[in-house]
Amino acid sequence: MKDFAPSKRPVTVADVAKSAKVSKATAARVLGGYGTVSDKVRSQVTAAAAVLGYRPNELARSMTTGRSGTIGVVVGDIENAFFSLAVRGISDVARTAGFNVIIANSGEELSAEKAAIDLLIGRRVDGLIVTPSDCGASDHLSDAIGVGVPLVLFDRAIPALQVDAVTGADRDAAMMATRHLQSFGHRHIAYVTAREGEVGEYFTDESQLPATSVLRRVEGFLAAQSANGVQDAHRLVRLGAVDQDHTDAVVAHLLGGTPRPSAIIASDSVVGLEVFRSLQTRGLSVPRDISIISFFNADWTTVTTPPITVVDQPVYEMGRRAAERLIARIDGGAEASQHFTIQTTLISRGSVGQAS
pLDDT digit string (tens) for 166-215?
999 999 999 999 999 999 999 999 999 998 888 889 999 999 999 999 99
For the chain, what is the domain count? Answer: 3
- pLDDT category at 62 given cuts 50, 70, 90 is low
Decide if pLDDT at 64 tops 70. no
> Are residue 295 and residue 268 in the same domain, yes or no?
yes
Mean of the per-residue pLDDT values of the chain: 92
Q: Are residues 207 and 278 in the same domain?
A: yes
- Please indicate, yes or no, whether residues 51 and 89 belong to a single structural domain of this protein: no
285-290 contacts: CB < 8 A, separation 24 or more?
286/351, 287/350, 287/351, 287/352, 287/353, 288/353, 289/356, 290/261, 290/262, 290/263, 290/264
Residue 57's pLDDT is what?
63
The per-residue pLDDT for 174 is 98
Would you say residue 59 has pLDDT above 60? Answer: no
Query: What is the pLDDT confidence band of residue 60, given thresholds at 50, 70 and 90?
Result: low
Type and span of the H or E element at 154: strand 151-154
Q: Name the band, by pLDDT with cuts 50, 70 and 90, for residue 55.
A: confident
Q: Which residues have C-beta within 8 Å of that of residue 262, sequence separation ≥ 6?
A: 186, 187, 188, 189, 290, 291, 355, 356
Identify the band that residue 11 occupies on the pLDDT scale cut at 50, 70 and 90. Answer: confident
Is the pLDDT reported for residue 22 higher than 60?
yes
Evaluate whether residue 61 is within a structural domain. Answer: no
Whether cis (ω within 30° of 0) applies to the bond prior to 307 is no
| 111 plus 156 within the same structural domain | yes
CA distance 184 to 186: 6
Examine the domain organization and report whether 282 and 184 are in the same domain. Answer: yes
Establish if 62 belongs to a structural domain.
Answer: no
Type of residue found at 239: L
How many angstroms separate the CA atoms of 26 and 36, rounded? 9
Task: Determine the average pLDDT of the residues in 227-255.
Answer: 96
208 and 280 co-located in one domain: yes
Look at residue 285 in the predicted model and tell me its pLDDT. Answer: 97
Cα separation, 38 vs 158, whole angstroms: 49
Residue 276 and residue 155 share a domain: no
Q: What is the pLDDT of residues 313-338, one digit of tens each?
A: 999 999 999 999 999 999 887 678 99
Instruction: For residues 206 and 130, state if they share a domain.
Output: no
2 alpha-carbon distance from chain centroid: 44
Residues 258 and 275 in one domain: yes
Q: Are residues 304 and 323 in the same domain?
A: no
Tell me the mean pLDDT in the region 41-57. 85
Burial 79-116 (b: 16+ CB within 10 A, else e): ebbbbbbbbebbbebbeebebebbbbbbebeeebbbeb
Same-domain check for residues 90 and 218: no
Statement to judge: residues 27 and 47 lie in one domain: yes
- Does 29 fall in a domain? yes
The range of the structural domain enclosing residue 28 comes to 13-56
- What span, in angstroms and rounded, lies between the C-alpha atoms of 3 and 93? 41
CATH number at residue 297: 3.40.50.2300
- The predicted model scores a pTM of 0.82
